[in-house]
Structure 1
């Protein structure tokens, strides 16, 4: 069902990597399954995609139960309310939207193992979006030092849909620069080696900026 979409996706990722002198193996595709059924998502497995991303707790838990017997890497990419942390935090492999200290406290309280987290950056200054500002990112990450259940594996950012390519590239580049700054701090709890950036409409720009995870939904599932 998705072969043509996947062929196009692979070609575009390959071209973006080649243009940036990057190894395609360094870019991981997350299938954003939030808008499709479990049966539809299942069709991706024999095609080689087993990293699934959901943005709502209830939908995630439904799919996690459905795919209980499958080897799937689970990513929660949406805003997580503190009251729902206990439901989901020990069921995921990666959390892409850590953006405040209170949420970190709740994760520390509820997690029974170290959680791989991306700190969400609001690089474009959108009032309707969650996230830490670039100027506060290092201070925020340093404030997490006491939490042994949180491992900051990288930074996450999303571009506004109305932004042009230049604006998007500039923002992604700024997040990539900040990631390198944090990695160079050599914090044991924050290796910050990863970048979660880029969706179906802008993943090529994200790859150019160094994204290691791209979140793909419509490019998989739209006809």
Structure 2
């Protein structure tokens, strides 16, 4: 597929996602501009991401730091900002501090300290969201709901981290009410933080909802939805490898 054809297809998918977002906002009595779309581009090759920028995207989210960094370097000629949405080890804080505009999975003071040190060196700040494990699943990262307020009270000690709100991954279930319950819990934690958390942090953002459940998330108050496959299509076997055309990427 040519880049122009790819851009056309991506533009159609983007329009369909935004139409669904707007419809969910109307059902919830919310303004459409109260929800921001963060396209998740993990495993998507650079060639397709260039077409996506041509279709109007200016921000992308990635789970893995190495993948995000290589793509950012390969697309440094384009006006794209990068958000890291996956779990971060402290030894990767140096890379995140250098190029990312946001980190949506903060759940450790050790990571906060590592980011603060590296951001000081880079003379940068970083938007961060605190990740909460609202499903209670051992396979998911994030703070336990009962630990969020205490954790948040420590965050003003890290002035380079611009804490904007909370993030969660809902349970993967065909039962919409179980999914909805995860989003409602995150919203209730935000309300608790506004009462008992540090007053200098507003906790406005709720990043919740992905391709399979973003409409429910919007109905429950999401301000950011993280959508990948509904925009870029199903991942193929080849997408499991690093991305053709990225200098320095390991061979399949």
The TM-score, its normalising length taken from structure 1, stands at 0.94
Residue in structure 1 matching 2:199, options 184, 187, 193? 187
Partner secondary structure for residue 168 of structure 1: helix
Note the alpha carbon deviations across 1:27-46, whole angstroms, 9 max, x for none: 11111111211110111223
Residue in structure 2 matching 1:176, options 168, 173, 187? 187
Larger mean CA deviation between 175-184 and 115-124 belongs to 175-184
Q: Residue in 1 aligned with 2:60? A: 52
CA contact (8 A) 2:35 2:218 kept: yes
Note the alpha carbon deviations across 1:48-78, whole angstroms, 9 max, x for none: 2211001111110111112212222210001
Larger mean CA deviation between 190-199 and 178-187 belongs to 178-187
Q: Residue in 2 aligned with 1:165? A: 176
Partner secondary structure for residue 118 of structure 1: strand
Any unmatched runs of 5+ in structure 1?
Answer: none
Partner secondary structure for residue 29 of structure 1: strand
CA contact (8 A) 1:183 1:193 kept: no
Q: Check if 1:149 corresponds to 2:160.
A: yes
How many residue pairs end up in the alignment? 222
Partner secondary structure for residue 157 of structure 2: coil
Give the whole-Å Cα distance in 1 for the aligned partners of 2:32 and 2:233. Answer: 24
Pick the structure with more helix per residue.
2
Note the alpha carbon deviations across 1:78-98, whole angstroms, 9 max, x for none: 111111111222311110000
Q: Residue in 2 aligned with 1:110? A: 118
Q: Tell which structure's C-alpha radius of gyration is larger.
A: 2
Deviation at 1:186, TM superposition (A): 5.8
Deviation at 1:210, TM superposition (A): 1.0
Give the whole-Å Cα distance in 2 for the aligned partners of 1:9 and 1:201. Answer: 11
Residue in structure 1 matching 2:38, options 30, 34, 37? 30
Q: CA RMSD, aligned part only? A: 1.5
Any unmatched runs of 5+ in structure 2?
Answer: 1-8, 235-252
The TM-score, its normalising length taken from structure 2, stands at 0.83
Give the whole-Å Cα distance in 2 for the aligned partners of 1:105 and 1:6. Answer: 37
